[in-house]
Each structure stands twice: as C-alpha cells, then as structure tokens.
Amino acid sequence: MATHGPSRQGDSLLLTGLLEGQTVADAARAARMSVKTARRRLAEPAFRQALQQARQEALAAAVTRLTAATATASAGLERLAAGAGQESVQLAACRSILELALRGVELLDITERLSALEARVATPQNGRTSVLR
C-alpha cells in the first residue's frame, strides 16, 4: 500500500487504530479522515491486505510472548498441583495440566502430519507435481 499524497497520509493511523480494536469511526477520527474515507480504504484490496498482514504480525508477536511464558506457567501449575492447600485448587491444576498436555500432543501430531502432506504434495509424482496445489 503506497502513500500517494494527502489522501493517503492517514492510512497508517487508520491501520493502527483498527489494530488497537477501535471502531472504524474512532480509527477514522484518530486518522483525521471521514468515516466514509475509512470505509473506502477498507474496501481497497491493498489496504485490506496491509491490515491483514499487520494483524498477523501482531498475533505472531503475541504468540511469541505467550510461548516464552509457557515454562513459567507450567512450573506454576506443577507447584499448585503438588502443594496447594485446597484440594479444589490441586484438582483444577491437575486437570489443566492434563488438558493442556493433550492439546499440545494433538497439535504437534497435526503439525507433523500436515508437514508430511505438504512434502508429499510438493514432491513430483511420475514427473508431475500433484494437483492438490
């Protein structure tokens, strides 16, 4: 999404506002443009793609932070499961550990299977690439 003169100066502000969860009207106001202009921007494929890319980057950053905190969270659950004063807290911690471990195993399995399928599709069969692409 290239900037072309005054009509595009607020695009980055509009993107920022939308990424922060503002309504279109609030984001348009922050970008010093009309709601009508903001809606026109949202109708443009290049702007929508830029917004989607920015959302994916923000989500990836959030997931990275959450991933970094998993060891601390796991240790906290282990402490609760082993030494919480109330049995209900111990039960909840144990249940969380089991549920999260199961989800993790399932996710790893699905990821491994998907990677194998992608490799299979990418490998030419009888001199031809698979039609699944």
In this structure, the answer to whether residues 14 and 60 fall within a common structural domain is: yes
Residue 126, pLDDT > 80, answer no
In this structure, the answer to whether residues 29 and 79 fall within a common structural domain is: no
Q: How many angstroms separate the Cα of 5 from the Cα of each of 2, 8, 78, 92, 108?
A: 10, 6, 57, 57, 48
Residue 14, pLDDT > 70, answer yes
In this structure, the answer to whether residues 115 and 77 fall within a common structural domain is: yes
In this structure, the answer to whether residues 77 and 108 fall within a common structural domain is: yes
State the pTM of this model.
Answer: 0.58
> Residue 1: what pLDDT?
47
> Would you say 57 and 47 are in contact if contact means Cβ atoms under 8 Å apart?
no
> Residue 22: what pLDDT?
97
User: 3-class SS at 125?
Assistant: strand
In this structure, the answer to whether residues 24 and 49 fall within a common structural domain is: yes
In this structure, the answer to whether residues 24 and 64 fall within a common structural domain is: yes
> Residue 5: what pLDDT?
37
Number of neighbours of residue 77 by Cβ within 10 angstroms: 17
In this structure, the answer to whether residues 60 and 3 fall within a common structural domain is: yes
Return d(Cα 53, Cα 112) in angstroms, integer.
25
Residue 37, pLDDT > 90, answer yes
The average pLDDT across 79-106 equals: 89
In this structure, the answer to whether residues 35 and 78 fall within a common structural domain is: no
Report helix angle 11-19 to 35-43, nearest 10: 80
Q: Please, which residues have CB within 8 angstroms of residue 1's CB and are 6 or more apart in sequence?
A: 8, 11, 44, 46, 47, 49, 50
In this structure, the answer to whether residues 36 and 82 fall within a common structural domain is: no
What's the mean per-residue pLDDT of the chain?
87
Residue range of the domain that includes 54:
1-68
In this structure, the answer to whether residues 2 and 55 fall within a common structural domain is: yes
The average pLDDT across 3-27 equals: 83
